[in-house]
Structure 1
Amino acid sequence: MPPSALPLGEPVPDDGALPASCRDGVDSREFGIYLHVPFCRVRCGYCDFNTYTATELRGVSQASYPDEVAKEVSLAHRVMDDAGVLREAATVFVGGGTPTLLPPGELARMLGTLRETFGWKPDAEVTVEANPDTVGPRELEELAAAGVTRLSIGMQSAVPHVLRVLDRTHNPERIGPVVAAAKAVGLETSVDLIYGAPGERLEDWRASIDAALEHEPHHISAYALIVEEGTKLARQIARGEVPAPDDDLQATMYELADERFAAAGYEWYEISNWSRGGAHPSRHNLNYWRGADWWGFGPGAHSHIGGVRFWNAKHPAAYTERLSRGVTPAVGREVLDEETRQTERILLETRIREGLPVAVLRDRTPLAGLIADGLVDGRAALAGRVIPTLKGRLLADRIVHGLDVA
């Protein structure tokens, strides 16, 4: 099953050059780095990410991956320097795939290349995603020594039958020891949960919430399962082998999660994310929602620099081939016009607790209706921010459609 198709876009110059417009307002935007590691042992049935098992790599070697990434790092440095947008990274996020399938020394080598090339701010947040069965105390010590500050753990569920439906192979009992080992070497910890899997009952979800809270991570993400076209799960649902997710049940699950997280001292700061005491948000992901700049390295990775969005060739073989010819791995881009940027700002900033400034709205008329419908916090709106209520978080699309008035 191939991952989802790339969007359409205009061609990218072979040298990857950015238009002069990307310099506008550069000093007001943070810069982050995303590094994609596209390798997995098995493909989970619900997953639509750009990942590949060993049999799907078509001659591309995991061992050579750090060297291929280094070529793109060098190219990105030149492109950003020529465009006048080069600056230190405030955040780095290594995602996948399963980054921790690579030996920690190889991850450290790639991180070292990024730090030596771009520089990191002294307080840079450096996150690595991990499956709980691919890391232990030794690996975590090496990652911490390489500058990693944060571990994001793919927990998904604490209930074995839910993990089986999702094709997750780890033992849920591994979560606690991994969180503890990460904390022991000074890393902040985050656990990812998924709710609404076929056959998952409310009591199953409650058990997963309680298990996550028992480990006292610094941060918790909880995502509603989305059935992506072309996945194994989509085919199973189409054949009637498993039921489709129930929207009403998912809404109830979200409300339960928000209630229990809040009772345990976690504050929501984005629709699907909670931070303990409000002090440990993912700064990297917040920068996405705030419209900051980032460069995405690796096959299929997306980047955004000053209103220019571009994306790399998806398959590792195609990515490697382009770099071997000395041309950018980016195969398409979009220069966002003002209307698109306005729509995206509404889409992103109405998802976060700090909200969207009312002053940026072209037409404030719909705001009163959204407040009356209980979707937007009225007091916050009077103070100048559009912030969703709990009901608004469940119906976020209605806020976006209501406010996006050309």
Structure 2
Amino acid sequence: MAGALPDGEPVPDDGSLPDEATREVGKDGFAVYVHVPFCASRCGYCDFNTYTASELGGGASREEYADTVLAELALAARVIEPGRVDTVFVGGGTPTLLPAGDLARILDGIDRTWGLAPGAEVTTEANPESVDPAYLRELRRGGFTRISLGMQSAAENVLRVLDRRHTAGRAPRAAAEAGEAGFEHVNLDLIYGTPGETPEDFAASLDAVIGAGVDHVSAYALIVEDGTRMAGRMRRGELPYPSDDVAADRYLAAEAALSEAGLTWYEVSNWAQPGGECRHNLLYWTGADWWGLGPGAHSHVGGVRWWNVKHPVTYAKRLAAGTSPGHARETLSGDDRHMEDVMLRVRLRDGIPLDRVDATGAARALADGLLEPGAYDDGRLVLTLRGRLLADAVIRDVV
């Protein structure tokens, strides 16, 4: 389970927001995130706000979860009127541990409350072993257009270290089943740099995602979070810590293989075929508003950010009492919003206008070969391949 939530200003019992925050809600796009906090088992590297049956205890159930989320949606409807919802993303946890009908019911509630925009992107995450063709067909009939499958690796030894439950070939098969069910967009997630992973293991993973024919691939370096089972194994010397050099080699391998296969980077850790970009994440990365439904979910509207109580039992009790599940909130200053805008946009293929960043830091990054000269001449900061490897350093220089 994730660590403690940060403190902040109290959230009013009715969840209301300042008038200045809601005045132009949705003007730059509006998204809904739905958090499903259930997992069949906990992966050794995971510190997300998720719960297995043994961790959850009594007082919250999967069977009642959709109704609880819809209760928060009803509260949200009294707070804002965004006009339309451009994207919906159901994450977790493992959302597909809920019946497909429950996920469709939540989506229908969002549509009835705020209205889905024509052509809205609707995504759910899924573990490969948690779906089958019939389930996928029901999701598609329920209005889902995109699915993101947690593949992580095509190597059995790597999956064992990560405590993943699916077999190496299951994720590509699930991706094929999603395509057959009519999903317009399919993503496969990879993790690289796992202890024991060889270059050949990662090459096999890249071959597998390319062979699956998906239009989107996410690839992230393994991050070891304090408090996870994997962190404990590393402290005891059972596993080596990840290597930055190995992670850089893996990233270069991903860029070479995926770009050759027609998938272009559009964010440092994400590649897509033209039109396959995740529109929901792009809304996050470009400063749009969104409401997060579910325990521990974060929201942002008009410069006000808040986060819900973490535990599903507490979340359900708050809503049953007719009060907001918000734990705390903060009002971002102009400087805060600028800093976050730079941090996110620098990672995008479209980059950021040079007049939004520190000129001295940008000039230094250009001299170091971290920025594209042509884009720089046109007044934009865009990372080179080497710049992507050092994106955090570039961000520190130009904020």
Normalising by the smaller structure, the TM-score range is over 0.9
Offset, 1:31: 0.2
Counterpart among 276, 284, 287 of residue 283 in structure 2: 287
- 2:220 counterpart letter in structure 1: Y
Q: Secondary structure at the match of 2:319?
A: helix
The yes-or-no answer on 1:223 pairing with 2:220 is: yes
The yes-or-no answer on 1:205 pairing with 2:197 is: no
- 1:166 counterpart letter in structure 2: L
Offset, 1:186: 1.9
Q: How do residues 97-136 of structure 1 correspond to structure 2 at under 5 angstroms?
A: 97-136=93-132
Within 2, Cα distance between the matches of 1:394 and 1:14? 44
The yes-or-no answer on 1:374 pairing with 2:369 is: yes
Aligned equivalent of 2:136: 140
Aligned equivalent of 1:168: 164
Within 2, Cα distance between the matches of 1:93 and 1:27? 16
Q: How do residues 343-354 of structure 1 correspond to structure 2 at under 5 angstroms?
A: 343-354=339-350
Within 1, Cα distance between the matches of 2:263 and 2:22? 38
Within 2, Cα distance between the matches of 1:381 and 1:12? 43
Aligned equivalent of 1:51: 50
Q: How do residues 6-405 of structure 1 correspond to structure 2 at under 5 angstroms?
A: 6-23=5-22, 25-26=24-25, 28-59=27-58, 60-81=60-81, 86-187=82-183, 188-276=185-273, 278-361=274-357, 363-404=358-399
Within 1, Cα distance between the matches of 2:27 and 2:368? 35
Q: Secondary structure at the match of 2:169?
A: helix
Do the aligned residues in 1 keep the contact of 2:26 with 2:83 (CA within 8 Å)?
A: no
Within 2, Cα distance between the matches of 1:37 and 1:304? 19
Offset, 1:384: 1.8
My pick for the range that moved more, 16-25 or 222-231, is 16-25
My pick for the range that moved more, 171-180 or 145-154, is 171-180
Offset, 1:8: 2.2
Within 2, Cα distance between the matches of 1:24 and 1:247? 45
CA RMSD of aligned residues (A): 1.1
Q: Secondary structure at the match of 1:116?
A: helix
Offset, 1:24: 5.4
Offset, 1:27: 5.4
Q: Secondary structure at the match of 1:108?
A: helix
Within 2, Cα distance between the matches of 1:342 and 1:38? 31
- 1:35 counterpart letter in structure 2: V
Do the aligned residues in 1 keep the contact of 2:26 with 2:288 (CA within 8 Å)?
A: no
User: Which consecutive segments of 4 or more residues in structure 1 shift more than 4 A?
Assistant: none
Q: Which whole-Å deviations, capped at 9, do the CAs of 1:91-138 have from their partners, x for residues lacking one?
A: 000100001111111111111111111110011000011111111111
- 2:86 counterpart letter in structure 1: A
Offset, 1:25: 4.8
- 1:68 counterpart letter in structure 2: T
Within 2, Cα distance between the matches of 1:177 and 1:224? 24
Do the aligned residues in 1 keep the contact of 2:137 with 2:182 (CA within 8 Å)?
A: no
Within 1, Cα distance between the matches of 2:386 and 2:200? 22
Q: Which whole-Å deviations, capped at 9, do the CAs of 1:42-85 have from their partners, x for residues lacking one?
A: 0000001100001122211110001100110000111114xxxx
**Percent of paired sites with the same residue:** 52
Do the aligned residues in 1 keep the contact of 2:192 with 2:247 (CA within 8 Å)?
A: yes
Within 1, Cα distance between the matches of 2:240 and 2:299? 36
Change (3 A) 1:73 1:23: closer
- 2:44 counterpart letter in structure 1: G
Which consecutive residues of structure 1, in runs of 5 or more, have no partner in the other structure? none
* TM-score using structure 1 length: 0.96
Within 2, Cα distance between the matches of 1:294 and 1:78? 15
Q: Secondary structure at the match of 2:349?
A: coil
Within 1, Cα distance between the matches of 2:27 and 2:347? 21
* TM-score using structure 2 length: 0.97
Do the aligned residues in 1 keep the contact of 2:44 with 2:228 (CA within 8 Å)?
A: yes
Change (3 A) 1:163 1:352: same
Q: Secondary structure at the match of 2:365?
A: helix
